[in-house]
A and B are shown apart, each in its own frame.
Chain A
Amino acid sequence: MNEIPAPAALLPWAPERTGEAAPAPGPERRAPGALAQLGLALRLAWRQLRADRARLATAIAGVMFACVLVFMQLGFKGALFDSATNLLQALRADLFLWHPLTEASFRPERMPRSRAHQALADPDVAQSIPVYLTQVTLRNPETGTKRAVQVIGFDAAAGALRFPGIEQVAGALTRPDTFAFDLRSRPEFGPVARLFRERGPFPIELNGREMELVGLVEIGPSFGADGNVVMSEVNFRRVFERRPSNIDLVAIQLRPGAEPAAVQARLRALLPGDVAVLTHAELVQKERRYWEEGTPIGFIFLFGSVMGLVVGMVIVYQILFADIAGHLSEYATLKAMGYSDGYLARVVLGAALILAVVGFLPGFLLCLFLYDFVAGATFLPLVMTTERALGVFLLIFGMCFAAGLLAVRKLRDANPADMF
């Protein structure tokens, strides 16, 4: 097997063979361009990763794990905050008044009804209607179990507070002891919407009192309540025996062409300090901030994301480190052949970034599936946005890069002088 070619073999470009002069021995060579070098380093990294399938699979699994964890944590966080603000998000009006001490819509601070009338003093305010909020129980018409529901009481016919479906039920709601049900409420309330569509208005027990369901609206469940119920201001006051002077929210409709910011400023100057004048966006933002900052929810998800990144980084680092430690003599040989430390560092970092890409892609696809699956199971609005996909990719990229930087230190142990 160790046969030697019969005539003493010559170098392919030996003068004896080609008849030309031999290349001058050992000329200084032009180094390849930076881009070509990067390409070659990446290719070497990929070939090394590819050689050990089991190790590559472990590394990809590690990156995928981090990817899925971060995506799910961010998804849950976003979904919970979105759903937390669902109620206020759905209620549309030009301006709102509410008590400055109110932190969240499920626990409103009451204010005098007269503030709603005072707002009418501004010439650009067309309507200013009081809104009552409370939480009571609704009995499931099928199983008979009771569950907390958010009740919104206001003059639906006025048109100052808008959300899908309200115009169709406004007329029916003026009758005594009637209410409309949010068809996007969680299914624990029973098939209320289906029953209504099948047989029309029917009685349901709300807060221990038999009331008639006369229509459906669309709002969506939120953190504070699993479902929503809408009724007229009059019915609200009668059913819950609320003193009319204590209201929770004021919805203001402006005249067409009015400048909301200007009206907002004027109302602030006009009204006493026991009300805050907010636009819809500010109202939602205020509610969101309560859940983000006033509760440990944001921190919990941040912690989960960071843990995922740390575990992923450790796995990638371990893989890269083992690759270097297991091939120290080969790396040292490359250094002896004239490969610089920087080139070899690029090989290791290249391996890390390849892992980021090949781990992120399956992780992303898995998360698309998981988002759908979890959204279907929990009714949480989990949606994959481009920003989130990009953000997580950058996080994973950074995670792998950090792991690569840590692993590069091991290259110092590859000393070509020790090779002899």
Chain B
Amino acid sequence: MQAPVELREVSFAYGSGELRRLVLREVDLRVAPGEIVILTGPSGSGKTTLLTLIGALRAMQLGSARVLGQELLGASEAARVRLRRRIGFIFQNHNLLGFLTARQNVAMALELDGALSERERLARAGAMLEAVGLAGHAEKRPAQLSGGQRQRVAIARALAGAPGLILADEPTAALDKQTGQEVVRLLRDLAKGNGVPILLVTHDPRILDLADRIVAMEDGRIVHAALEQAR
């Protein structure tokens, strides 16, 4: 089976001419179906840039990147927008729409799917919220929820569209230790149940043990890839 993420000799630079700054140097990375990979490294090591490239949020410059079967080098803006619909994003901040309820926020991930009716969307969003343990909070707005609950709504939103890949950036940064671990464990369990791979960028040492594999980056290169033993 084809790997959901397959990078070959990906290089990326910001700026041009004198100011050109190389942030990724010939990175190779492969994520297997259902695999949970944690990307770590000091700030400026290029891990966030790598994540935005894989998430089709930035245009590729050099190398090859196949994500969910789509080659990203030279992909058009429209093709990248289409690919993003098949990826679940979880950000450092929950970034929920404040004027929508938790259920409506999750349903936003489904509004791009023309096959679903409004009722099906809301029903599926409700089921997703139930799966993240927020059954009683579906009609609350983000302002009425705690930080951990908001991040769980964000997880429900990322998973609602049945994505083929989940990309997360410091999902625990805004949470305390206990809540952070619970949220990531929840994310892992939900993804594992469906065989969805997760690529997670973090500095947080408390959640490293949840990964199948830890990839360390430094100065735009992958320096160390440790295979975790199955727990």
Asked if B217 is an interface residue, CB under 8 A from chain A, the answer is no
- Residues of the A chain whose Cβ atoms lie less than 8 Å from the Cβ of B127: 12
Give the interface segment out of A30-38, A58-66, A134-142, A166-174.
A30-38
Contacts of B99 in A (CB 8 A): 47-48, 50-52
Residue B82, interface by CB 8 Å: yes
Size bin of chain A's contact surface: 35 or more
* B-side contacts of A340, CB under 8 Å: 78, 81
Chain B nearest CB, measured from A342 CB (Å):
10
Q: Which residues of B contact A3 (CB under 8 A)?
A: 133
Number of B residues near A (Cβ < 8 Å) is 64
Most chain A CB within 10 A, of B108, B124, B130, is at: B108
Which of the residues B58, B91, B148, B190 comes within 8 Å of A9, measured between beta carbons?
B190
- For A21-39 the 0/1 string (1 means CB < 8 A from B) is 0110111111111001000
Q: A14 with B193: in contact, given A29-B114, A29-B115, A36-B114 (CB under 8 Å)?
A: yes
Q: Say whether B113 faces chain A, with CB atoms less than 8 Å apart.
A: yes
Does A281 count as interface, using CB distance less than 8 angstroms?
Answer: no
How far in angstroms is the closest Cβ of chain B from A136?
A: 69
- Is A2 a contact partner of B178 (Cβ separation < 8 A)? yes
The smallest C-beta distance from B136 to any residue of chain A, in angstroms, reads 11
Stretch of A94-102, A230-238, A253-261, A326-334 contacting B (4+ beta carbons < 8 Å): A326-334
* A11 part of interface (Cβ distance < 8 Å): yes
Residues of A within 8 A of B193 (CB): 8, 10-11, 14, 16
Chain A binder among B18-26, B47-55, B204-212: B47-55
On whether the beta carbons of A29 and B112 are closer than 8 Å, the reply is: yes
Is B146 within 8 A of A338, CB to CB? Answer: no
Question: Are B124 and A329 in contact, with the CB atoms below 8 A?
Answer: no
A417 lies within 8 A of chain B by Cβ: yes
Kindly state whether residue A307 has any CB partner on chain B within 8 Å.
no
Q: Are A336 and B57 in contact (CB under 8 A)?
A: yes
Q: Contact at B89–A28, with CB atoms within 8 Å?
A: no
**B92 at the binding interface (Cβ < 8 Å):** yes
Verify if B109 is at the interface (C-beta below 8 Å from A): yes
Query: Which of A1, A9, A52, A330 lies in contact with B149, CB distance below 8 A?
Result: A1
In the complex, chain B residues whose CB is within 8 Å of the CB of A1: 146, 148-149
B194 touches A333 (CB 8 A): no
- A32 with B108: CB separation less than 8 A: no
Beta-carbon contact of B95 and A333 below 8 Å? yes
Bitwise, B185-213 to A at CB < 8 A (1) or not (0) is 11001100111100001000000000000
Residues of the A chain whose Cβ atoms lie less than 8 Å from the Cβ of B182:
2, 4
Q: Which residue of B lies closest to A40 (CB)?
A: B111
The answer to whether A419 touches B190, judged by C-beta atoms less than 8 angstroms apart, is: no
From A8, A26, A30, A36, give the contact of B165 (CB < 8 A): A26
Task: Report the Cα distance A370→B114, complex, angstroms.
Answer: 48
A4-B185, A50-B99 known; A26-B195 Cβ under 8 A: no
**Nearest chain A CB to B191's CB is how many angstroms away?**
9
Nearest A residue to B114 via CB reads A32
Q: Please pick, from A9, A23, A419, the residue contacting B132 in the complex, using a CB distance under 8 A.
A: A9
Pick from A22, A40, A337 the residue with the most CB of B within 10 Å.
Answer: A337
Across-interface contacts of B44 in A (CB, < 8 A): none
Contact A10 B95 (CB under 8 A): no
- Residues of chain B from 120 to 158 with CB closer than 8 A to chain A in the complex: 124, 127-128, 130-133, 146, 148-149, 157
* Residue contacts A-B, CB under 8 angstroms, 24 given: A2-B148, A4-B133, A4-B182, A9-B132, A9-B189, A9-B190, A12-B124, A12-B128, A22-B195, A25-B4, A25-B68, A25-B194, A26-B162, A26-B165, A28-B82, A30-B114, A30-B115, A31-B114, A33-B114, A47-B99, A333-B89, A338-B81, A419-B169, A420-B52
Chain A to chain B: the 3 pairs with minimum beta-carbon distance, closest first: A26-B164, A338-B85, A51-B99
Which B residues have a C-beta under 8 Å from some C-beta of A? 4, 33, 48, 51-52, 55, 57-58, 68, 78, 81-87, 89, 91-93, 95-100, 104, 108-109, 111-115, 124, 127-128, 130-133, 146, 148-149, 157, 159, 162-165, 169, 178-179, 182, 185-186, 189-190, 193-196, 201
